[in-house]
């Protein structure tokens, strides 16, 4: 049964996509609520530099060294952005938009120079190769398990442990930063830990979906969930659910139309967001319209 699962290519691809979505949604929920969604944009671009530099230094194209390298690059991005904004010479949004293109540009140029020696090229950066995850497998307990599935599983588990153990602290730091600081929960440190996890997740997902599609998995499912529910734990749950559904639907549609699987999965998250936007029980456009009409009617009477 399990062997059949690991032998099935579609199952491997869908499972990898679902794990990318779950891992990204877990951290993304807090980024969206905090109003820092675009930091995921900055991080996912600049880890390209981290990946290339770690590869040049150690020769490792994936694995724990890459995850740590990425976490550091992600933190460097955020640190440089905050440093630039702290000079008061540019606004915060411009600081984000100035820092990550520089890091990304250096990464792409290094890729251009060393293109012949490394398997990541400009296309992988953008598209990922989720369709080929089953090519690169490791033996685990007698089963051939895809490398990507394993690293995504590990990241999803790590993020889940982080969110579960620090649920109360994260919740307080997200909704009432001042109180969290006063109670000694160190919201700043917590936030940096969250960003480090986001970066590591981005690298783990890099082979599967590339740098830019990853943004969709971080921001879109939590945003869709935010339009459906008011409860934080439900938001985490719905976001993960939407991510899993997107993975299934995206795979199906991509195979049907013979297009990029990662791209289709990310597109599907957008479709679910539009559905939530239209049909959300309280915040959806239709619910808003009905409420307005009822209010108008009540006034007329």
x/- letters, 224..243, toward other proteins (CB under 8 A): --xx----------------
Nearest alpha carbon to residue 210 among 98, 122, 112: 122
> Least separation, in Å, of the C-beta of 72 and other proteins?
21
Residue 223 sits in the site that holds other proteins (CB under 8 A): yes
Residue at token pair 């009905």: 290
Judged by DSSP in three states, 121 sits in coil
Judged by DSSP in three states, 293 sits in helix
x/- letters, 42..71, toward other proteins (CB under 8 A): ---x--------------------------
Give the gyration radius of the chain's Cα atoms: 20
> Least separation, in Å, of the C-beta of 108 and other proteins?
5
Which residues are paired to 145 by β-bridges?
138
Cα dist from 228 to 204, 238, 260, 265, 272, whole Å: 29, 8, 29, 21, 11
x/- letters, 147..186, toward other proteins (CB under 8 A): ----------------------------------------
> Least separation, in Å, of the C-beta of 117 and other proteins?
13
Judged by DSSP in three states, 282 sits in coil
Give the torsion sign (CA, 269, 270, 275, 277): positive
Number of Cβ within a 10 Å radius of residue 20:
33
Nearest alpha carbon to residue 218 among 16, 35, 20, 76: 20
Residue 263 sits in the site that holds other proteins (CB under 8 A): yes
- Report the residue number, 6 or 73, with the smaller CB distance to other proteins: 73
Q: How far apart are CA 259 and CA 261, in angstroms?
A: 6
- Report the residue number, 58 or 288, with the smaller CB distance to other proteins: 288
Residue 267 sits in the site that holds other proteins (CB under 8 A): yes
Q: Which stretch, 122-130, 138-146, 167-175, 192-200, contacts other proteins (CB under 8 A)?
A: 122-130
- Report the residue number, 153 or 218, with the smaller CB distance to other proteins: 218
Phi-psi region of 83 (alpha: psi -120 to 50; beta: other; left: phi over 0): alpha
Residue 202 sits in the site that holds other proteins (CB under 8 A): no
Q: Residue numbers of the site for other proteins (CB under 8 A)?
A: 32, 35-38, 40-41, 45, 84, 87, 89-91, 93-94, 96-98, 101-102, 104-106, 108-109, 112-113, 115, 122-123, 126-127, 212-213, 215-216, 218-220, 223, 226-227, 254, 257-260, 262-267, 269-270, 273, 277, 283, 285, 288
């Amino acid at each position: 049964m399990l062997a059949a699962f690991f032998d099935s290519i579609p199952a491997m691809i869908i499972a990898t996509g679902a794990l990318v979505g779950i891992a990204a949604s877990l951290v993304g929920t807090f980024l969206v609520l905090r109003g820092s969604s675009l930091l995921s944009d900055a991080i996912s671009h600049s880890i390209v530099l981290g990946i290339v530099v770690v590869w040049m230094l150690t020769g490792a194209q994936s694995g724990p060294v890459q995850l740590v390298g990425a976490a550091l690059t992600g933190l460097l991005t955020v640190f440089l952005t905050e440093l630039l904004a702290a000079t008061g010479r540019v606004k915060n949004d411009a600081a984000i938009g100035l820092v990550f293109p520089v890091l990304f540009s250096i990464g792409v140029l290094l890729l251009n120079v060393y293109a012949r020696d490394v398997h990541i090229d400009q296309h992988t950066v953008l598209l990922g190769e989720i369709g080929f995850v089953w090519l690169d497998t490791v033996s685990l307990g007698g089963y051939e398990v895809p490398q990507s599935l394993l690293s995504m599983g590990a990241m999803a588990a790590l993020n889940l442990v982080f969110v579960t153990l620090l649920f109360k602290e994260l919740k307080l730091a997200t909704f009432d930063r001042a109180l969290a600081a006063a109670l000694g929960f160190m919201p700043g440190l917590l936030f940096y830990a969250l960003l480090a996890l986001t970066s590591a997740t981005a690298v783990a997902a890099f082979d599967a979906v590339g740098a830019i599609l990853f943004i969709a998995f971080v921001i879109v499912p939590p945003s869709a969930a935010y339009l459906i529910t008011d409860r934080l734990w439900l938001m985490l749950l719905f976001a993960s659910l939407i991510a899993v559904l997107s993975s299934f639907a995206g795979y199906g549609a991509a195979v049907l139309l013979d297009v990029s699987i990662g791209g289709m999965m990310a597109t599907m998250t957008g479709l679910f967001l539009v559905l939530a936007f239209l049909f959300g029980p309280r915040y959806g456009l239709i619910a808003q319209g009905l409420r307005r009409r009822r209010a108008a009617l009540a006034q007329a009477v």
